[in-house]
Chains A and B, each alone.
Chain A
Amino acid sequence: MKTLYRLQAIVTKELTQLKRDRMTFGMVIMIPLIQLMLFGFAINTNIRDIPVGVVDQSQTALSRVLIQTVRATQVVEFTEQFYDVEAAQAAIARGEVRAVLVIPQDVSQRLVRHKTVGLGTPASSDEETSRPVAQWIVDGSDTMIAAAIKGLRAMPLTELLGLPANRMTPTFEVALFYNPEQRTAVNIVPGLVGVILTMTMIMFTSAAIVRERERGNLEMLITTPIRSIELMLGKIIPYMLIGIVQVAIILGLGYSVFNVPINGSLLQLAAATLLFIMASLTLGLVISTIAKSQLQSMQMTVFVLLPSILLSGFMFPYEGMPLAAQYIAEALPATHFMRLIRGVVLRDVEIIDMTYDVTWLAIFTVIGLIVASLRFKKNLG
């Protein structure tokens, strides 16, 4: 009974303090809102309108049609025209354009002899048919841009000559489940839940104990009969509610603005999210018992936040990372949550079927809570 009183005392106090702290209270709402808008629109792996230049050495009607056809793909936007390759390369170096299309003088000949265009008469030699029509010079340092231009390598040219498109039989049929239109937002928005929760949850609680210490409240608090675990739980509970509010904002906006479906049940979603919120909060508490000042707790939060963004599978597929990085990623609650939330939101999976990640988060929370309670000593020296 007294435990309940004390727990309630801490929770009420935290909520009242939060209510009075307008700035933090605003952040609770604004962080998910702004970040969702920013990242939802900004992060896009379907690259379009890359600024490129052209060196047209042929200056024929055909070369101009070729340029039009390339532009029609919408992958590139021709912004510059150069008279020789050297000038074009210099423009790439200066960063004015990311790539340059070089159309050779004999483009018509190359085109006619090209295998896919296939004007077979007179019979051409292998050497002739294997000659490409034109060349791309690409700033290959950005692999995503390079990949997008490489995607143009095999673009069909038949319609250039008014011929019917020759049908190619693909080796594989690909059925795209869960995101058939391949919209980046579908993958990003649920992931953002993980990133934003990592940020706010760890940040709030990592300051929790340190702040009491810095403001001198701790000296009073530890002479009272309060137990460590009561203090820790009391610090966590208010932020669980806040976490839920933030998730609702992100997924609600994701649904209405970015059209990200929520395929799983809300109950499953709430369960997965609560698991992650608790894991993040206890991690914050552990930080709070280690840090000596609020600045230190902030630094430690960032130390956890960066790998949570970069290694958790939010931006880059987990599978593509080297083994060592995968081990680090495994240690981060965010990694497990990315799998869970994408599973629930996009693939309508029951979290109970994702035993590994669920168990991991649960164990992390319990251990975190124990460590924080043990580390928090009720004395000053």
Chain B
Amino acid sequence: MNQSSNQHQQSVIKTKGLCRHFGSLKAIENLDFEVGKGQIYGFLGPNGCGKTTAIRMLTGLLLPTSGEIEILGLTLPRDAEKLRLKIGYMTQKFSLYDDLTVKENLKFIAKIYGLSRSEQQSRIDELLETYGLDQKAHQLAGSMSGGQKQRLGLAAATMHKPELLFLDEPTSAVDPENRRNFWEKLFDLCEQGTTILVSTHYMDEAERCHKLAILEAGVKRADGSPDELMQNMGAQVVEIESSQLRQLKQQLIALPEVISAAQLGSRLRVLVQDSCDDPLAFLVQQTALDKSALTLVRPSLEDVFVTCTGKGRQ
């Protein structure tokens, strides 16, 4: 973890020993993390790993079972109401009104945040343009596509120009094209000084974050920038090109040095633990394949993810 680069930045979110239990289910267990100002911070994890629970606690919607949360210098849950004006939250499910038009929805949000009449008009026009919704202003929100709904959601969440934005799986119902545009908007916001916390289960999305935390079963397995995570993953990646990959996979996965093996078309991507000095030689010895069939490749975030969460399963 390279904390030194963040030291000069003030931290926007800071949690210590954050826990949330639902009965016997430990949705979040001992979560410590810190988000610096102006960062895009990602929560990466499979469904049900506690991403939404964590975000709900950070937005004051859920009370923590134990632990401390400090956001923008305020302590949660005590200052939850004071925080409302400083944060924006875009829920996983579209949570604006399907039976209101785009403009009516935005107007509603503007009034709820107490914008003055003239502010309302100019801010709504600005948002409609920024998020490419000016043509759709009078369309019912319920009749829009996933991508449009998601842009409307972001427009609503940023109505009051929050310092900190929470996005809970914002792109789960959106095609890749729209997803890319959406991230462009996020970087625009980021440049204007907004700190963003986003949860996702897409690797390509996680890779765009400045920093991310990998969550599994309510526990943080690793955190850092994508590059740091890849460097420090503690495993090397070898791709094997061969026929009969299914069989090979079964054989390799039984070895203690091999963390995982996943087929990608005609190749097998094998994660070998760092403790193995020369993974290529090791694999050649194990598989009796020609050395030319094996290549050492650069790790991806998915490899990091598999390595981190794999530990948890063992």
Contacts and interface: CB of A to CB of B under 8 A. Distances in A.
Interface string A2-13: 100110110011
Contacts of B99: 16-17, 20-21
B100 A16 contact: yes
A220 B113 contact: no
A215 B113 CA distance: 21
A220 B94 CA distance: 9
Given A13-B97, A224-B113, A379-B77, 12 more contacts: A5-B111, A5-B114, A9-B111, A9-B112, A13-B100, A13-B108, A16-B100, A216-B91, A219-B91, A219-B95, A225-B81, A381-B56
Contact of A223 (B89, B93, B115): B89
A217 B97 contact: yes
Contacts of B111: 5-6, 8-9, 12
Contacts of A222: 61
Contact of B114 (A6, A13, A223): A6
Interface in A188-239: 215-226
Contact of B95 (A2, A6, A217, A378): A217
Contacts, number: 87
Contacts of A38: none
B98 interface: yes
A324 interface: no
A380 B22 CA distance: 12
Contacts of B94: 216
Contacts of A224: 84, 109, 112-113
A175 B115 CA distance: 65
Contacts of A378: 60, 80-81
Interface residues of A, number: 28
Q: Number of contact residues on B: which range applies?
A: 20 to 34
A216 B95 contact: yes
A129 to B, nearest CB: 79
Given A12-B108, A223-B89, A224-B113, A380 B95 contact: no
B211 to A, nearest CB: 24
Contacts of B104: 13, 16
B158 to A, nearest CB: 13
B26 to A, nearest CB: 14
A17 B62 contact: no
A61 B72 CA distance: 104
A379 B60 contact: yes
A226 B63 contact: no
B112 A226 contact: yes
Contacts of B100: 13, 16-17, 20
Contact of B63 (A5, A220, A381): A381
Nearest to B99: A20
Contact of B59 (A2, A8, A223): A223
B79 to A, nearest CB: 13
Interface in B104-146: 104, 107-109, 111-115, 140
A25 B6 CA distance: 57
Most chain A C-beta atoms within 10 Å of own C-beta, residue among B89, B93, B99 = B99
For the complex of A and B, list the 6 residue pairs with the smallest distance between their C-beta atoms, beginning with the closest: A9-B111, A2-B114, A220-B95, A225-B84, A223-B89, A216-B93
A219 B84 contact: no
